[in-house]
Copies of this chain bind each other. A is one copy, B any other.
Amino acid sequence: MSPTAELAETGREFYRRGWARGGSGNFSVLVARRPLRLCITAAGNEKGTLDDTNFLEIDDDAEILQGFGRPSDDTLLHLSIYRLRPKARSILYSQTVSGILLSDKFYVDGSISLQGFDALRGLAGVESYEQTVRVPIVENSTDQIALSHVIENVLIENPNIHGIYIRRHGLYSWGETVEAARRNIEIFEFLFEVTARA
C-alpha cells in the first residue's frame, strides 16, 4: 500500500469511528527529507473518502509541487513538526468529544497527563506503564503563523512528546510510519476517553 493509500485507509477508519470530520485537521506523509517534500490533504477534504486526488505535494515553503486544491491553514504546523522531529515520517489528526473536553479541562495545567495505563507501552520509547506521558495543550489561533511558532516552541521544550493538542480543535500526533502515528492516535484517544469518564 502506498503511503497516501495508507492515509486514505486511516481516514476511512477515523471517519467510521467519528474521529474525523471534513474541514478540521489534516493528514500528511513525508516524501523526502532533503529537500523537504511532503504529501498533505488539501483544505476542507472529507477524511472518510480520500483518494489520490485529495493530496497536495508541497515543499518546505508550502509551495505546491503537484496536485489540485488549496493547502490547508495548518500546513505550516505540519512543516514545523517535520523540521523539529527528524524521525517523523507521518502526521495524523483526530477530533473527539473526550479529547476536546480534556483540552478545556486541563488547559490551565498546560497538558493532559497520562500515567499507570498499560496501553501507554504502545507509544514509541515508552517502556513501562509507570512512565508519565504528557500531551501539551496549546490555545487555538486564527493566526496560523503565530500558531506554528507556538507549536515549534512546544516541540523544542518537550523533546519526548508524541503529540500536541490544540484546544477545542484536536490532536496532532506523528510517527516513523503512518501505522505508528495511527497507533499513537488510537492509544491517546482511548486514554482520553478513560480520563474524561473517570
- Measured CB to CB, the residues of A under 8 A from B are 17-18, 21-24, 44, 46, 95, 97, 100-101, 104, 116-119, 121-122, 128-130, 140, 142, 166, 168-170, 179, 183, 186-187, 190, 193-194, 196-198
**A18 to B129, Cβ gap below 8 A?**
no
**B169 to A101, Cβ gap below 8 A?**
no
**Contact partners of A101 in chain B: CB under 8 A:** 194, 197-198
**B166 to A119, Cβ gap below 8 A?**
no
**Contact partners of A95 in chain B: CB under 8 A:** 118-119, 190
Instruction: Work out how many copies of this chain go into the complex.
Output: 4
Instruction: Apart from A23-B121, A118-B166, list 9 A-B contacts with CB within 8 A.
Output: A21-B186, A21-B190, A44-B122, A95-B118, A97-B194, A117-B169, A129-B142, A129-B169, A130-B142
What is the minimal beta-carbon distance from A179 to any residue of chain B, in angstroms?
Answer: 8
Who on chain B is nearest to A99 by CB? B194
**Roughly how many angstroms separate A123 CA and B197 CA in the complex, as a whole number?**
28
**B168 to A116, Cβ gap below 8 A?**
yes
